[in-house]
Amino acid sequence: MNWPISPNGSSWLTTALVIPTIIWSVSLPSLPPDQPSIIRDETGAQTLLGYVVDFTARDGTAKCILDIGPQHGNRHGSLHGGIISCMLDNAMGFAASLTGDDAGDTRFMTISMNTQFMAPVREGRVTATGVISGGGRNLLFAEGSIHDDAGAVIATATGVYKRIKETRS
């Protein structure tokens, strides 16, 4: 691509590499303050992606909250589907962990998960919510959904989670 560029006002042609850059600036409400039911940077994946786990509702649900940045996008500029799936898996898995104790220290592993993508989202805050829909002591069924800050459904998921005998230390 030839662009006329000149520091002194004259013009000449040069070849330039143009890299699209998304500049995003919006004021979002603050994430919940640190408290025992807010988890930040617990795992490498959580630290890398930057989401927060929130189980303050004490109703058996767990939430993962993410403020979307340019590092979260796919090649089309939307929130990457892998990040959406990761957040849904964490919200549903944490809801499973809350069935063992109020701190969410009972360990579960994902056996299977199915995600349905409904709409793209490019900016703002998204919240994934997980809830247990059935099962027994060692195998639980969960449902999850992720919404944008306007309440639109971005994706839904179902998952099966198996209890692991030992607890976290």
Average pLDDT of span 13-18: 43
Q: What is the pLDDT of residue 23?
A: 39
Distance between CA atoms of residues 159 and 167, nearest Å: 21
Expressed as residue numbers, the domain containing 140 is 28-167
65 found inside a domain = yes
23 found inside a domain = no
3-state SS, 19-82, equals CCCCCCCCCCCCCCCCCCCEECCCCHHHHHHCCEEECCCCCCCEEEEEECCHHHECCCCCECHH
94 found inside a domain = yes
Distance between CA atoms of residues 126 and 4, nearest Å: 41
140 found inside a domain = yes
Q: Which two tokens stand for residue 2?
A: 């030839």
Q: Can you say whether residue 77 is alpha, beta or left, with left for phi > 0 and alpha for psi between -120 and 50 degrees?
A: left
- The predicted-structure confidence for 34-91, as pLDDT tens digits, reads as follows 555 566 667 788 888 999 988 887 788 999 999 999 999 999 999 999 999 999 999 9
119 found inside a domain = yes
Q: Which of 1-5, 35-39, 72-76, 160-164 has the lowest mean pLDDT?
A: 1-5
- The predicted-structure confidence for 119-159, as pLDDT tens digits, reads as follows 999 999 999 999 999 999 899 999 999 999 999 999 999 99
Q: What is the pLDDT of residue 30?
A: 53
CATH number, position 61:
3.10.129.10
Number of domains present in the structure of the chain? 1
Residue 102 has pLDDT above 80, yes or no: no
Q: What is the pLDDT of residue 37?
A: 59
Q: What is the pLDDT of residue 28?
A: 47
Average pLDDT of span 83-112: 91
Q: Please state, as a whole number, how many other Cβ atoms lie within 10 Å of the Cβ of residue 102.
A: 10
Distance between CA atoms of residues 132 and 13, nearest Å: 62
40 found inside a domain = yes
3 found inside a domain = no
Instruction: State the pLDDT confidence band at 12, using cuts at 50, 70 and 90.
Output: very low
Q: What is the pLDDT of residue 111?
A: 98
Q: Which two tokens stand for residue 18?
A: 């143009």
Distance between CA atoms of residues 108 and 131, nearest Å: 14
20 found inside a domain = no
